[in-house]
Amino acid sequence: MINQQLLTYLEAFISEERKQRFIDVLEERTTYITVAIEDVFQMHNTSAVIRSCEVFGIQEAHVIEARNKQTLDKEIAMGAEKWVDITKYESSSTCIASLREKGYQIIATTPHANDCLLQDFQIEGKTALFFGTEKNGLTDTVLNEADGFLKIDMQGFTESLNISVSAAIILQNLTTKLKQMNVDWGLTDEEKLVRRLDWTKKSIKSIDDILTRYDTQS
């Protein structure tokens, strides 16, 4: 359970405008769609995908680092890593198993499969979108485990888009579709409070000292 008393105490250290901004943004957040990024070689591309998640209201992202361990490029993410919950994995199979346990279908984004174009894709339950490396795409592990495939319709000579561009296009399309559906796509009240507390802590520079003072007073 969220410590409502602590949240109220900490929110006194941020402006009313920032507090209301958190509330408004959380109303548009979802975990109904999530994103998994598999072994992307170029760090700035992972960071850009995380930024797209934040922009389009995707609250959780999953980063698989089997071969390419990296740190998010904060200049590209533009602070988005503060507002998106990021879970890291050492293998794709571990990530897939974790997401399946939470009820997600696995959808592989790839220009090489003709199963479903983006404009025709229907969201049927909680969906985890997997994006692969710039050069080779998704691994066989993901492709073999996928419940479906999704691609962006392209009319030119170029076969594929940069991963960060693909993610932005797909997320904008699917989050728009999702919010038009008659499903409970938003965060629960408890989930919103958890994020409000986390975001409030991240917004206070001297948070450690303030938490110590709170503990002393409690």
Q: What is the DSSP string of 87-106?
A: EEES-HHHHHHHHHHTTPEE
Residue 15 domain-assigned (yes or no): no
Q: Give the CATH number of the domain where residue 53 resides.
A: 3.40.1280.10
Phi, psi of 95 (to 5 degrees): -65, -45
Cα–Cα separations (whole angstroms), residue 144 to 95, 117, 127, 132: 14, 19, 17, 14
Say which residue the tokens 């974790």 belong to.
98
**β-bridge mates for residue 150, sequence order:** 109
Which pTM does this prediction carry?
0.89
3-class SS at 2?
coil
Looking at the DSSP bridge assignments, the partners of residue 204 are none
Residue 157 resides in a domain:
yes
Which residues form the domain of 80? 29-187
pLDDT in tens, 28-49: 999 999 999 987 656 678 888 9
183: in domain: yes
Phi, psi at 203, each rounded to 5°: -95, -5
| Strands, E assignment, the chain | 33-38, 60-64, 85-89, 105-109, 127-131, 148-150
More confident residue, 116 or 177: 177
Which of 93-102, 107-116, 139-148, 192-201 shows the lowest mean pLDDT across its residues?
A: 107-116
Whether the Cβ atoms of residue 58 and residue 167 lie closer than 8 Å to each other: no
* pLDDT tens, position by position, 160-204: 778 889 999 999 999 999 999 999 999 999 999 999 999 999 999
pLDDT at 218 over 80: no
120 located within any domain? yes
Residue with tokens 């888009």: 161
Question: What Rg, from alpha-carbon coordinates, does the chain have?
Answer: 19
* DSSP 8-state assignment for residue 188: P
- Using DSSP's 3-state secondary structure scheme, residue 22 falls into helix
Is residue 147 one of the residues assigned to a domain?
Answer: yes
> Is 2 contained in some domain?
no
CA–CA gap between residue 39 and residue 135 (Å, rounded): 11
Q: Identify residue 197 by its one-letter amino acid code.
A: L
Residue 101 lies in a domain: yes
**Domain-located, residue 217:** no
- Residue 115's pLDDT is 78
**Domains contained in the chain, number:** 1
